Amino acid sequence: MSQRTFSIIKPDAVKKGYAAAILADIEKAGFKIVSIKKISLSKAQAEGFYHVHAARPFFGELTEFMASGPIFPMVLEKDNAIADLRTLMGATDPAKADEGTLRKKYASSIGENAVHGSDAEETAAFEIGYFFAGLELA
């Protein structure tokens, strides 16, 4: 059944000029881009997005990084979108990611790992709503 998920092209990948290549890989994998924009987050906005990780030792580093430059948040749609995007992205640590995955191809470290993808329906709903208004999701 068709499902929506949320993704971000992170600051490292945007700075390196990989945004278009990542979008092409996402489309080739069968995802429809429902909505996309380019924005820069403040540290507080990054903290709000990653609030579930607030107690982690890497929270400061993660939110500094996510506020360090422009990102492309987007909403994607396909059958089984949440799980399929996570397969396409590969492991959180690019050193452990399979060949051909987005993190293997475009990421440099566990902290600067090129892309984000929602891990469950509940998180996808929160994350889509954090960045997009209903009118942007027709």
37: Cβ contacts below 8 Å, ≥ 6 apart: 72, 73, 74, 131, 136
**Closer CB to ligand CMP, 4 or 117, in the complex:** 117
In single-letter form, the type of residue at position 66 comes to M
Q: Is residue 53 annotated as a catalytic residue, yes or no?
A: no
CB of 116: closest distance to ligand CMP in angstroms?
4
Catalytic residue, candidates 47, 62, 116, 124: 116
Structure tokens at 74: 């987007």
**Closer CB to ligand CMP, 54 or 138, in the complex:** 54
CA-CA distances (angstroms) from residue 89 to 26, 41, 80, 126? Answer: 9, 22, 14, 20
Subset of residues 112 to 131 that bind ligand CMP, contact rule: CB under 6 A: 113, 116
Residues that bind ligand CMP (CB under 6 A): 53, 58, 61-62, 92, 110-111, 113, 116
